[in-house]
Structure 1
Amino acid sequence: MADELNGRRVAVLAADGVEQVEYEQPRQAVERAGAQVTLLSIHTGEIQAMHGDIDKGDTFTVDGLVSDVSPQDFDALILPGGTVNPDQLRVNSAAVGFVRDFVGSGKPVGSLCHGPWTLVEADVVRGRTLTSFPSIRTDIRNGGGNVVDEEVVTDQGLVTSRDPNDLGAFCSKIVEEFAEGRHPAPTQS
């Protein structure tokens, strides 16, 4: 199991305000499975992680700008949550375009907690089943998605979970889905 993602390139797209545990644990899970991980953001330097919305966590060095890469450069994508992080991403046209194109490519994506906000902004939840933090479920429904309240949900390579309490199931499922690779490109209804 330690090499099921050997040779796979995984992007993590995050900005200031990312929930630290939602960045670290999925990254560690795919790295342990052999993936090479790149932290992308909307600015260079470092991003400030958080523990909840109040307490600052660690900072993490950005490996590249989302505006300088293409979904073709990666095999899978992780969109961690935190309230502020996806709120910044969803107003950045390069981030939204990258996510839209990535999901459209059929490559697997994992997103949890507030992370699906960026998916909604990219207009890629229509007709898909996913879960999230309770406060953004109306946004997902308004974007045409079907919301369920489950620990982890998979829909054609899109893996979602509700919050940090679901990280164990989420991390296992993203490794599995990322190992499967590309899924049929989703159709928008």
Structure 2
Amino acid sequence: MPQQTLTGKRVAILATDGVEQVELVEPRSAVEDAGATTALLSLDSGSIQAMHHDVDKGDTFTVDQTVAQVSPADFDALILPGGTTNPDKLRQDPTAVDFVKQFAASGKPIGVICHGPWTLVEADAVRGRTLTSYPSVRTDIRNAGGTVVDEEVVTDNGLVSSRKPSDLPAFCAKIVEEFAEGKH
């Protein structure tokens, strides 16, 4: 049984239709197993459709609250899973972008994987930061003032990033560690 290092912490997971299922499920399980309470936030109420590699439909997941109903002050940490259409939809929604921008400015830890940094780019939250991502997102990060490295997991002052689903074991371990440390 994992040590309950996140007991009492509330973790937001911001996602919408097209989220890569494994990048939602595994980090959520990791932080819940460590004692955190999670809330799936999305653009609309109801449920979201997860995908497997942007090709096959996965499961649907019930939305706990819309991003418009909450504030970054309600949470201790944030997870931004990937999938290509998920962050592409999020970065076009002003409420979601503002939530991420405020969250990043708060200094609270954020975990982001694969294409998830697109939302951080739109929120101007990668400038001066070092992170990793799926290869097709790296030019966007550089153009937004971030530094990109090609590593399994990268941590920059509470911002934890990974490249792809095969990085999930390292990503999940690192977000639990960083979320336990709290605000940076």
TM-score range (shorter-chain normalised) is: over 0.9
Q: 1:144, 1:67 → 2: CA distance?
A: 28
- The two structures, once aligned, show a CA RMSD in angstroms of 0.5
Q: 2:115, 2:20 → 1: CA distance?
A: 9
Q: 1:19, 1:41 → 2: CA distance?
A: 14
Offset of residue 54 of structure 1: 1.1
Which residue is 1:61 aligned to? 62
Q: 1:108, 1:101 → 2: CA distance?
A: 12
The yes-or-no answer on 1:122 pairing with 2:161 is no
The one-letter code of the counterpart of 2:124 is D
Q: 2:120, 2:94 → 1: CA distance?
A: 13
The one-letter code of the counterpart of 2:4 is D
Q: 2:5, 2:126 → 1: CA distance?
A: 28
The one-letter code of the counterpart of 1:47 is I
Q: Percent identity?
A: 71
Which residue is 2:104 aligned to? 103
The count of corresponding residues between Structure 1 and Structure 2 is 183
Which residue is 2:43 aligned to? 42
Q: What are the ranges of 5 or more consecutive residues in structure 2 without an aligned counterpart?
A: none
The one-letter code of the counterpart of 1:153 is V
Which residue is 2:80 aligned to? 79
The one-letter code of the counterpart of 2:15 is A
Moved over 3 A (4+): none
Which residue is 1:187 aligned to? none
Q: What are the ranges of 5 or more consecutive residues in structure 1 without an aligned counterpart?
A: 184-189
Deviations 1:135-174 (A, max 9, x none): 0100000000000000000000000000001000000000
Q: 2:36, 2:3 → 1: CA distance?
A: 10
The yes-or-no answer on 1:172 pairing with 2:158 is no
Other structure's SS at 1:40 match: strand
Which residue is 2:31 aligned to? 30
Give the TM-score normalised by structure 2.
Answer: 0.99
Other structure's SS at 2:60 match: strand
Give the TM-score normalised by structure 1.
Answer: 0.96
The yes-or-no answer on 1:12 pairing with 2:21 is no
Q: 2:136, 2:51 → 1: CA distance?
A: 18
